[in-house]
Amino acid sequence: MLLAGDFYSNPDLKRRGTTGDVEDVWIGFAERFRWVAGVAGNHDLFAGKSEFGKVFQRHPNVYPLDGDLLEIDGLRLAGISGIFGEPNRKPWRHNYSDYEAMFQMLMEERPDILLLHEGPNHPPERFRGSDFIRDLLLELSREIRPKLVVNGHCHWPQPMVELSESGPIVTNVDARVVVLTG
């Protein structure tokens, strides 16, 4: 199970954009799947904090990612949590230089799948996202581009696009579940 963040919902369902604890959502997935790897969204807290800390230490099949790479079941997964912004302003914010440094470090490890909360835009279809992330992905040589990028944050009307003729494929999972087989 791959998670791309923003699992908090205000209990009265009357307001969007609120922030709260989501570790129970991750643990719920972990109880039903062999493993869970994911990134935090900008509305997600873990034990009241915008850090993973030790919240999943009793759940060895949960792998939170923020500038991390792991290999599991033959897949090399990398992930960056959150969005761009002032790190001290709200949960899970990275300034551009820190984000780019994390991104470059992870890409040197050649992950198969890159998990992001904030993903690239796709101008041909007018899909919202970050032009900065799109540029970072397209500047990578074909040899080190991840095969798949999974992101959330901004909803797209269709779940998958190829950023260019040489990839990568981007799967947007904001407000949807995507099941990949094969």
- Beta strand 113-118 with 93-94: parallel, antiparallel or unpaired? unpaired
Look at residue 47 and tell me if it is in a domain: yes
Q: What is the sign of the dihedral through the CA atoms of 75, 67, 110 and 70?
A: negative
Euclidean distance between the first and the last CA atom of the chain, given in angstroms as a whole number? 15
Q: Could you tell me the two tokens for 175? A: 């407000």
pLDDT at residue 166 in the model: 84
State the pLDDT at residue 80: 98
Q: pLDDT (tens digit, 9 = 90+) per residue, 78-131?
A: 999 999 988 887 789 999 999 999 999 999 999 999 999 999 999 999 999 999
Which residues are within 8 A (CB) of 113 and not within 5 positions of it... i.e. 6 or more apart?
Answer: 2, 75, 76, 77, 78, 146, 147, 148, 149, 150
State the CATH number of the domain containing residue 152.
3.60.21.10
The pTM assigned to this predicted structure is 0.96
CA distance to 73, 114, 138, per residue, from 76 (Å): 9, 9, 20
Greatest alpha-carbon pair distance for the chain in Å reads 47
Q: Does any domain span residue 182?
A: no
Q: What's the structural domain count of the chain?
A: 1
Is 162 part of any domain? yes
Distance between CA atoms of residues 153 and 5, nearest Å: 8
Domain span including residue 35? 2-172
Does residue 178 sit within a domain? Answer: no
Rounded to whole angstroms, the Cα distance separating 32 from 112 reads 24
Digit-coded pLDDT (tens) for 2-11? 999 999 988 8
**Is residue 17 very low, low, confident or very high in pLDDT (cuts 50, 70, 90)?**
confident
In a domain, 179, yes or no: no
Q: Collapsing DSSP states into helix, strand and coil, what is residue 137?
A: helix
Residue 131 in any domain: the answer is yes
